[in-house]
Amino acid sequence: MQSLLVPVLILLAVVACVLLVSRMLSRRANERRDNAASARTPVDPVELAREAAAKLSEDQHRQLYSLIAQGQAMAAIKLYLGATGEGLRASRDAVGALAAHPQPFRRPEPAPQDLVPDDDEPEHFSYRYRAIASKGDVTREVSSNMLNDEIYGRIRTLAKSGDIEGAALALTKHSDISMKQAREFLELLDD
């Protein structure tokens, strides 16, 4: 039995050394990861506050600012954490940014219900679209804020497939030109 005691003690010492070394290495790895995370480019606190406020409902927004005004930072962080499901550190940073840079509540932009414009009323865009067609010395231009690349592409496809009347009708619907002008424009398109 004494002959087994020495090898067992050596084995226990080796296991203890391995555990200590692995624990030390994992601590170093965690420190490096934490240092790398803190060394990342800092997020603009105003932008962080805007993004954080956008994640809250009107009631959550009001409650959060009420807690901030009362000096209950931990309760505000818990509220934000529960409302968004983000991590503790991200919630702390978001609440800090919201406290430093107060944001008004903004209703979220309604999602577009229908990406295709309604057939009755063409969509108006914030820019003016110009379509130019020419053949020889003749050049025609259609300029409208009801046209974009997608709509103009559909009009060109209709014209190239031989449906000049349909293309002309669509062009008049999305611009302020007459049917005659639309036909003249479509005749100039490259085949």
Position 111 scores a pLDDT of: 55
Q: Which residues of the chain have pLDDT under 70?
A: 1, 34-42, 109-121, 190-191
Q: Which amino acid is at 184?
A: E
* Distance from C-alpha of 46 to C-alpha of 152, rounded to nearest angstrom: 40
Return the CA Rg of the chain.
Answer: 33
* Distance from C-alpha of 49 to C-alpha of 102, rounded to nearest angstrom: 7
Q: What is the pLDDT of residues 24-65, one digit of tens each?
A: 988 888 887 766 655 555 678 889 999 999 999 989 999 988
Here the tokens at position 25 are 């290495």
Contacts of 57 (CB under 8 A, 6+ apart): 83
What's the pTM?
0.40
* Distance from C-alpha of 173 to C-alpha of 188, rounded to nearest angstrom: 19
Position 80 scores a pLDDT of: 92
